Structure 1
Amino acid sequence: MDLTPYVDNLRQELAVAAEAGGDDARALAERLTAPLESAARLTLLNALSAAMGEVTRELAPGSVDVRLRGLDPEFVVTAPPAPEPFREVREPVELPAAPVPPADADDGAMARINFRLPAHLKARAEAAAAAEGLSVNAWLVRAVSVALDGGGRTSTPGRGKESGGRGFTGWVR
Protein backbone atom coordinates (compact mmCIF):
# COMPACT_ATOMS: atom_id res chain seq x y z
CA MET A 1 0.00 0.00 0.00
CA ASP A 2 1.48 3.31 -1.08
CA LEU A 3 1.24 5.95 1.67
CA THR A 4 2.58 8.75 -0.54
CA PRO A 5 -0.86 10.02 -1.68
CA TYR A 6 -2.01 10.27 1.93
CA VAL A 7 1.12 12.09 3.06
CA ASP A 8 0.87 14.44 0.04
CA ASN A 9 -2.78 15.13 0.90
CA LEU A 10 -1.76 16.02 4.46
CA ARG A 11 0.97 18.34 3.08
CA GLN A 12 -1.61 20.08 0.84
CA GLU A 13 -4.06 20.48 3.71
CA LEU A 14 -1.32 22.02 5.84
CA ALA A 15 -0.45 24.44 3.00
CA VAL A 16 -4.11 25.47 2.62
CA ALA A 17 -4.37 26.10 6.36
CA ALA A 18 -1.14 28.12 6.30
CA GLU A 19 -2.46 30.33 3.47
CA ALA A 20 -5.03 31.72 5.88
CA GLY A 21 -2.26 32.83 8.25
CA GLY A 22 -0.28 34.91 5.78
CA ASP A 23 3.27 34.77 4.47
CA ASP A 24 4.91 33.89 7.81
CA ALA A 25 2.56 30.97 8.41
CA ARG A 26 3.06 29.70 4.84
CA ALA A 27 6.86 29.83 5.23
CA LEU A 28 6.62 27.97 8.55
CA ALA A 29 4.37 25.32 6.99
CA GLU A 30 6.86 24.79 4.15
CA ARG A 31 9.69 24.30 6.66
CA LEU A 32 7.62 21.84 8.75
CA THR A 33 6.29 19.62 5.95
CA ALA A 34 9.56 17.76 5.28
CA PRO A 35 10.20 16.77 8.92
CA LEU A 36 6.52 15.94 9.43
CA GLU A 37 6.47 13.45 6.52
CA SER A 38 8.15 10.66 8.52
CA ALA A 39 5.94 11.37 11.55
CA ALA A 40 2.84 11.25 9.33
CA ARG A 41 3.96 7.91 7.80
CA LEU A 42 4.61 6.46 11.26
CA THR A 43 1.20 7.62 12.50
CA LEU A 44 -0.51 6.08 9.46
CA LEU A 45 1.37 2.81 10.04
CA ASN A 46 0.25 2.76 13.68
CA ALA A 47 -3.36 3.35 12.62
CA LEU A 48 -3.16 0.58 10.01
CA SER A 49 -1.60 -1.82 12.52
CA ALA A 50 -4.36 -1.13 15.04
CA ALA A 51 -7.03 -1.59 12.36
CA MET A 52 -5.53 -4.90 11.24
CA GLY A 53 -5.40 -6.01 14.87
CA GLU A 54 -9.17 -5.54 15.05
CA VAL A 55 -9.65 -7.36 11.74
CA THR A 56 -7.50 -10.23 13.01
CA ARG A 57 -9.64 -10.55 16.14
CA GLU A 58 -12.70 -10.90 13.92
CA LEU A 59 -10.99 -13.38 11.57
CA ALA A 60 -9.54 -15.65 14.28
CA PRO A 61 -8.05 -18.16 13.71
CA GLY A 62 -7.11 -16.30 10.49
CA SER A 63 -5.01 -13.16 10.66
CA VAL A 64 -3.88 -10.01 8.85
CA ASP A 65 -0.33 -8.79 9.41
CA VAL A 66 1.09 -5.41 8.44
CA ARG A 67 4.67 -5.58 7.19
CA LEU A 68 6.86 -2.66 6.22
CA ARG A 69 8.42 -3.02 2.77
CA GLY A 70 10.60 0.01 2.14
CA LEU A 71 8.52 2.99 3.21
CA ASP A 72 5.17 1.38 2.50
CA PRO A 73 3.12 -1.16 4.43
CA GLU A 74 2.12 -4.50 2.97
CA PHE A 75 -0.79 -6.59 4.20
CA VAL A 76 -0.34 -10.34 4.60
CA VAL A 77 -3.64 -12.19 4.98
CA THR A 78 -3.63 -15.67 6.47
CA ALA A 79 -7.02 -17.29 5.94
CA PRO A 80 -8.40 -19.59 8.63
CA PRO A 81 -7.91 -23.25 7.79
CA ALA A 82 -10.83 -24.79 5.95
CA PRO A 83 -12.64 -27.27 8.15
CA GLU A 84 -12.13 -30.82 7.05
CA PRO A 85 -15.30 -32.78 6.41
CA PHE A 86 -16.22 -35.16 9.18
CA ARG A 87 -15.23 -38.71 8.41
CA GLU A 88 -16.12 -41.56 10.72
CA VAL A 89 -13.00 -43.63 11.18
CA ARG A 90 -14.47 -46.44 13.24
CA GLU A 91 -15.95 -49.46 11.58
CA PRO A 92 -19.61 -50.02 12.40
CA VAL A 93 -20.13 -52.23 15.43
CA GLU A 94 -22.79 -54.89 15.17
CA LEU A 95 -24.90 -55.23 18.26
CA PRO A 96 -25.29 -58.84 19.33
CA ALA A 97 -28.79 -60.18 18.93
CA ALA A 98 -30.40 -60.08 22.32
CA PRO A 99 -33.74 -61.66 22.89
CA VAL A 100 -36.61 -59.25 23.21
CA PRO A 101 -37.84 -59.47 26.79
CA PRO A 102 -41.32 -60.95 26.98
CA ALA A 103 -44.11 -58.48 27.60
CA ASP A 104 -44.86 -59.95 31.03
CA ALA A 105 -41.21 -59.71 32.13
CA ASP A 106 -41.24 -55.98 32.76
CA ASP A 107 -42.62 -54.40 35.88
CA GLY A 108 -45.24 -52.51 33.89
CA ALA A 109 -43.76 -49.08 34.54
CA MET A 110 -43.01 -47.27 31.30
CA ALA A 111 -41.36 -43.94 30.75
CA ARG A 112 -41.74 -41.79 27.67
CA ILE A 113 -38.87 -39.79 26.22
CA ASN A 114 -38.50 -37.67 23.13
CA PHE A 115 -35.54 -38.96 21.18
CA ARG A 116 -34.24 -36.96 18.25
CA LEU A 117 -32.05 -38.62 15.67
CA PRO A 118 -30.44 -37.30 12.52
CA ALA A 119 -32.43 -38.51 9.50
CA HIS A 120 -29.68 -40.84 8.30
CA LEU A 121 -29.53 -42.61 11.69
CA LYS A 122 -33.31 -42.91 11.86
CA ALA A 123 -33.33 -44.60 8.46
CA ARG A 124 -30.61 -47.02 9.58
CA ALA A 125 -32.45 -47.81 12.83
CA GLU A 126 -35.68 -48.47 10.90
CA ALA A 127 -33.85 -50.75 8.47
CA ALA A 128 -32.16 -52.68 11.30
CA ALA A 129 -35.46 -53.09 13.14
CA ALA A 130 -37.25 -54.27 9.98
CA ALA A 131 -34.45 -56.77 9.29
CA GLU A 132 -35.05 -58.33 12.70
CA GLY A 133 -38.82 -58.16 12.48
CA LEU A 134 -39.11 -55.63 15.33
CA SER A 135 -40.67 -52.25 15.71
CA VAL A 136 -38.25 -49.34 15.91
CA ASN A 137 -39.24 -48.83 19.55
CA ALA A 138 -38.54 -52.49 20.45
CA TRP A 139 -35.25 -52.37 18.58
CA LEU A 140 -34.18 -49.19 20.40
CA VAL A 141 -35.20 -50.66 23.78
CA ARG A 142 -33.07 -53.72 23.03
CA ALA A 143 -30.13 -51.59 21.84
CA VAL A 144 -30.23 -49.44 24.97
CA SER A 145 -30.56 -52.54 27.17
CA VAL A 146 -27.58 -54.23 25.50
CA ALA A 147 -25.51 -51.06 25.77
CA LEU A 148 -26.29 -50.56 29.44
CA ASP A 149 -25.95 -54.20 30.48
CA GLY A 150 -22.47 -54.42 28.97
CA GLY A 151 -23.26 -56.74 26.07
CA GLY A 152 -21.40 -55.51 23.03
CA ARG A 153 -19.93 -52.58 24.93
CA THR A 154 -16.71 -51.27 23.52
CA SER A 155 -14.49 -49.32 25.82
CA THR A 156 -11.51 -47.17 25.15
CA PRO A 157 -8.55 -47.82 27.47
CA GLY A 158 -7.69 -44.86 29.63
CA ARG A 159 -11.06 -43.16 29.24
CA GLY A 160 -14.17 -42.94 31.40
CA LYS A 161 -14.88 -44.11 34.92
CA GLU A 162 -12.91 -47.35 34.53
CA SER A 163 -9.69 -45.39 34.17
CA GLY A 164 -9.92 -43.63 37.51
CA GLY A 165 -10.54 -40.24 35.91
CA ARG A 166 -7.47 -40.29 33.68
CA GLY A 167 -7.77 -38.71 30.29
CA PHE A 168 -5.82 -38.17 27.14
CA THR A 169 -4.21 -34.92 26.12
CA GLY A 170 -2.50 -33.93 22.90
CA TRP A 171 -3.19 -32.89 19.32
CA VAL A 172 -5.44 -34.69 16.91
CA ARG A 173 -5.44 -34.22 13.16
Structure 2
Amino acid sequence: MELREYVEALRDELVTASAAGDAETRAVAERLVAPLESAVRLTLLKVLSAAADEITRELAPGSVDLRLRGMDPSFVVTAPSADDGPTKDAADDADEAAGDWSPGALGGARGGATARINFRPPQEMKDEIEKAASRQGISVNTWMVRASAAALSNSRRAQRGKQQFNGWVQ
Protein backbone atom coordinates (compact mmCIF):
# COMPACT_ATOMS: atom_id res chain seq x y z
CA MET A 1 0.00 0.00 0.00
CA GLU A 2 1.42 3.35 -1.01
CA LEU A 3 0.96 6.11 1.59
CA ARG A 4 2.55 8.83 -0.53
CA GLU A 5 -0.68 9.75 -2.34
CA TYR A 6 -2.53 10.21 0.98
CA VAL A 7 0.26 12.28 2.52
CA GLU A 8 0.44 14.44 -0.63
CA ALA A 9 -3.34 14.89 -0.65
CA LEU A 10 -3.23 16.13 2.95
CA ARG A 11 -0.33 18.45 2.14
CA ASP A 12 -2.28 19.88 -0.83
CA GLU A 13 -5.31 20.42 1.41
CA LEU A 14 -3.22 22.30 3.96
CA VAL A 15 -1.67 24.51 1.29
CA THR A 16 -5.11 25.17 -0.22
CA ALA A 17 -6.52 26.07 3.20
CA SER A 18 -3.62 28.45 3.84
CA ALA A 19 -4.35 30.24 0.56
CA ALA A 20 -7.31 31.88 2.29
CA GLY A 21 -4.85 33.78 4.52
CA ASP A 22 -2.23 36.39 3.77
CA ALA A 23 1.27 35.75 2.38
CA GLU A 24 2.73 35.17 5.83
CA THR A 25 0.08 32.51 6.61
CA ARG A 26 0.85 30.72 3.32
CA ALA A 27 4.60 30.82 4.08
CA VAL A 28 4.09 29.33 7.55
CA ALA A 29 1.83 26.60 6.15
CA GLU A 30 4.41 25.66 3.51
CA ARG A 31 7.15 25.48 6.16
CA LEU A 32 4.97 23.24 8.35
CA VAL A 33 4.02 20.83 5.56
CA ALA A 34 7.45 19.15 5.28
CA PRO A 35 7.86 18.29 9.00
CA LEU A 36 4.25 17.09 9.16
CA GLU A 37 4.88 14.41 6.54
CA SER A 38 6.52 11.98 9.00
CA ALA A 39 3.83 12.65 11.64
CA VAL A 40 1.10 12.01 9.06
CA ARG A 41 2.79 8.76 7.94
CA LEU A 42 3.07 7.59 11.55
CA THR A 43 -0.57 8.44 12.24
CA LEU A 44 -1.69 6.57 9.11
CA LEU A 45 0.34 3.53 10.19
CA LYS A 46 -1.30 3.62 13.63
CA VAL A 47 -4.74 3.77 12.01
CA LEU A 48 -3.92 0.86 9.69
CA SER A 49 -2.55 -1.17 12.61
CA ALA A 50 -5.68 -0.52 14.69
CA ALA A 51 -7.84 -1.53 11.72
CA ALA A 52 -5.83 -4.75 11.27
CA ASP A 53 -6.28 -5.55 14.99
CA GLU A 54 -10.03 -4.97 14.79
CA ILE A 55 -10.35 -7.13 11.69
CA THR A 56 -8.27 -9.87 13.36
CA ARG A 57 -10.62 -9.91 16.37
CA GLU A 58 -13.56 -10.48 14.03
CA LEU A 59 -11.71 -12.97 11.81
CA ALA A 60 -10.15 -15.10 14.59
CA PRO A 61 -8.76 -17.69 14.43
CA GLY A 62 -7.56 -16.09 11.18
CA SER A 63 -5.59 -12.88 11.32
CA VAL A 64 -4.58 -9.72 9.49
CA ASP A 65 -1.10 -8.34 10.12
CA LEU A 66 0.35 -5.01 9.06
CA ARG A 67 3.95 -5.19 7.86
CA LEU A 68 6.23 -2.34 7.01
CA ARG A 69 8.87 -2.73 4.29
CA GLY A 70 10.78 0.45 3.77
CA MET A 71 8.20 3.21 3.80
CA ASP A 72 5.34 1.10 2.48
CA PRO A 73 2.94 -0.89 4.67
CA SER A 74 1.31 -4.09 3.46
CA PHE A 75 -1.32 -6.43 4.86
CA VAL A 76 -0.77 -10.15 5.37
CA VAL A 77 -4.01 -12.12 5.71
CA THR A 78 -3.90 -15.54 7.34
CA ALA A 79 -7.12 -17.45 6.76
CA PRO A 80 -8.30 -19.86 9.46
CA SER A 81 -7.50 -23.48 8.72
CA ALA A 82 -10.16 -26.17 8.75
CA ASP A 83 -8.83 -27.64 12.02
CA ASP A 84 -8.73 -24.32 13.92
CA GLY A 85 -12.06 -24.81 15.58
CA PRO A 86 -15.47 -26.42 15.58
CA THR A 87 -17.76 -26.14 12.60
CA LYS A 88 -20.46 -24.80 14.88
CA ASP A 89 -21.40 -21.16 14.36
CA ALA A 90 -19.28 -18.93 16.61
CA ALA A 91 -22.29 -16.90 17.77
CA ASP A 92 -24.08 -20.10 18.87
CA ASP A 93 -20.95 -21.19 20.71
CA ALA A 94 -20.62 -17.83 22.48
CA ASP A 95 -24.28 -17.90 23.54
CA GLU A 96 -23.88 -21.45 24.80
CA ALA A 97 -20.73 -20.59 26.74
CA ALA A 98 -22.16 -17.43 28.28
CA GLY A 99 -24.87 -19.40 30.02
CA ASP A 100 -22.73 -22.30 31.24
CA TRP A 101 -20.34 -20.96 33.83
CA SER A 102 -21.28 -20.60 37.43
CA PRO A 103 -22.79 -17.24 38.42
CA GLY A 104 -20.21 -16.53 41.11
CA ALA A 105 -17.21 -17.54 39.03
CA LEU A 106 -16.71 -14.13 37.48
CA GLY A 107 -18.17 -11.88 40.09
CA GLY A 108 -21.80 -12.55 39.21
CA ALA A 109 -21.65 -11.20 35.65
CA ARG A 110 -23.75 -13.81 33.90
CA GLY A 111 -24.86 -13.75 30.29
CA GLY A 112 -23.12 -10.44 29.44
CA ALA A 113 -21.19 -9.57 26.33
CA THR A 114 -18.69 -12.14 25.14
CA ALA A 115 -15.12 -11.53 24.07
CA ARG A 116 -12.80 -13.39 21.77
CA ILE A 117 -9.33 -14.63 22.73
CA ASN A 118 -6.94 -16.18 20.25
CA PHE A 119 -5.59 -19.18 22.21
CA ARG A 120 -2.80 -21.23 20.64
CA PRO A 121 -1.95 -24.24 22.83
CA PRO A 122 0.55 -26.94 21.85
CA GLN A 123 -1.04 -29.60 19.60
CA GLU A 124 -1.03 -32.25 22.37
CA MET A 125 -2.87 -29.93 24.76
CA LYS A 126 -5.38 -29.02 22.06
CA ASP A 127 -6.08 -32.71 21.46
CA GLU A 128 -6.60 -33.31 25.19
CA ILE A 129 -8.94 -30.31 25.46
CA GLU A 130 -11.00 -31.58 22.51
CA LYS A 131 -11.23 -35.05 24.08
CA ALA A 132 -12.30 -33.62 27.45
CA ALA A 133 -14.97 -31.47 25.82
CA SER A 134 -16.21 -34.39 23.75
CA ARG A 135 -16.46 -36.64 26.84
CA GLN A 136 -18.66 -34.01 28.49
CA GLY A 137 -20.71 -33.52 25.32
CA ILE A 138 -19.92 -29.80 25.07
CA SER A 139 -18.03 -27.58 22.66
CA VAL A 140 -14.35 -26.76 23.12
CA ASN A 141 -15.33 -23.12 23.69
CA THR A 142 -17.74 -24.03 26.49
CA TRP A 143 -15.14 -26.33 28.05
CA MET A 144 -12.54 -23.52 27.94
CA VAL A 145 -14.97 -21.02 29.51
CA ARG A 146 -15.75 -23.47 32.33
CA ALA A 147 -12.07 -24.28 32.90
CA SER A 148 -11.18 -20.58 32.94
CA ALA A 149 -14.02 -19.77 35.34
CA ALA A 150 -12.90 -22.55 37.69
CA ALA A 151 -9.28 -21.35 37.57
CA LEU A 152 -10.35 -17.76 38.28
CA SER A 153 -12.55 -18.88 41.16
CA ASN A 154 -9.67 -20.90 42.67
CA SER A 155 -7.31 -17.97 42.18
CA ARG A 156 -9.70 -15.62 43.96
CA ARG A 157 -10.00 -18.02 46.89
CA ALA A 158 -6.21 -18.34 47.12
CA GLN A 159 -5.82 -14.54 47.09
CA ARG A 160 -8.15 -14.19 50.05
CA GLY A 161 -5.85 -16.52 51.98
CA LYS A 162 -8.75 -18.45 53.50
CA GLN A 163 -9.05 -22.18 53.57
CA GLN A 164 -12.53 -23.46 53.11
CA PHE A 165 -13.73 -26.87 54.24
CA ASN A 166 -17.05 -28.45 53.41
CA GLY A 167 -18.61 -31.50 55.04
CA TRP A 168 -19.83 -32.93 58.32
CA VAL A 169 -17.86 -33.46 61.51
CA GLN A 170 -18.84 -35.70 64.43
Question: What is the TM-score when the length of structure 2 is the normalising length?
Answer: 0.50
Q: Which has the larger radius of gyration?
A: 1
Structure whose residues are more often helix by fraction:
2
Asked which structure has the greater RCO (Cα within 8 Å, sep 6+), the reply is 2
Taking structure 1 as the reference length, the TM-score comes to 0.49
